[in-house]
Structure 1
Amino acid sequence: MAGTLYLVATPIGNLGDLTFRGVETLKQVDFIAAEDTRVTVKLLNHLEIKKPMVSYYRHNTGTRGEELIARLLAGESCALVTDAGTPAISDPGEELVAQCAQHEIPVVPIPGACAFVNALAVSGLPTGRFTFEGFLAMNKKNRRSHLESLVGETRTMIFHEAPHKLPATLKDLREAFGADRRISLCRELTKLHEQVWRTTLGEAADHYAQTPPKGEFVLVVEGAPQQEKESYTLEEGLEQVEKRLEEGTSLRDAVKQTAAAMGLSRKALYDLAVSRKD
Structure 2
Amino acid sequence: MKIVVVGGTGLIGSKLVTKLGEHGHDAVAAAPSTGVNTLTGEGVAEAVKGASVVIDVSNSPSFEAEAAREFFETSTRHLLEAEAAAGVGHHVALSVVGTERRPDIDYFRAKIAQEKLIQASPIPYSLVHATQFFEFVTRIADDATEDGKVRIAPVLFQPIAGDEVAQTVGRVAVGEPLNGRVEVAGPEQSRMDEFFRHVLAAMGDSREVVTDPHARYFGAELTERTLVPEDGAILTGTKYADWSAK
Check whether TM > 0.5. no
More strand per residue: 1 or 2? 2
Please tell me the TM-score bracket, short chain as reference.
0.3 to 0.5
Q: Which has the larger radius of gyration?
A: 1
Q: Which has the higher helix share?
A: 1
